[in-house]
Amino acid sequence: MLGHKGSRTYLAETQTGAVVAVATVRKSGRCAEVGILVEDRWQGRRIGTALLDRLVTLARSEDTAAVVAIVQEANTAMIRAMRRASAEADQIGTDLAYLTLQLARSRVLESRSDDAGRRH
């Protein structure tokens, strides 16, 4: 994804400046496709989850409607990280998962439940 027009790259560094993870966001209209790569030795330490949180916060601030990722169905770590952020997973073909985090819909639901709360 690096180098595509409209894509941005974010790095995660240790305190000594060593890069241990890279995240890319490629915007297409109000949709943002994300990709995250954590260096092998640093995987499983919540760095991917933390990066995804930042990307989702950024996407919300930019009025993005959906954050998506396409991964191998066996990629449990990415699927769990996206699901923790409330994404839905759909299977594509036999071995791919299409992960969608709908930000616009969450906001509508949140404001509807706010309204319901105010009526009671």
Comparison of 67 and 103: residue with beta carbon closer to ligand COA: 67
Q: Sign of torsion, CA 79 85 86 87? A: negative
CB of 102 to ligand COA, least distance (A): 18
Return the amino acid letter for 116: A
User: Looking at 32, 47, 59, 103, which residue binds ligand COA (CB under 6 A)?
Assistant: 47
User: Looking at 12, 25, 32, 38, which residue binds ligand COA (CB under 6 A)?
Assistant: 38
d(CA 55, CA 9): 10
* 4 binds ligand COA, rule: CB under 6 A: no
With CB under 6 A as the contact rule, which of the stretches 2-10, 12-20, 55-63, 71-79 interacts with ligand COA?
71-79
Per the CB < 8 A criterion, the answer to whether 21 and 58 are in contact is no
Find where tokens 């260096």 sit: 39
- Token representation of residue 54: 């930042």
* 45 binds ligand COA, rule: CB under 6 A: yes
User: Looking at 25, 35, 56, 101, which residue binds ligand COA (CB under 6 A)?
Assistant: 35
d(CA 87, CA 69): 10
Binders of ligand COA: how many residues, by CB under 6 A? 20
User: Looking at 30, 84, 105, 112, which residue binds ligand COA (CB under 6 A)?
Assistant: 84
H/E element, 34: strand 31-38
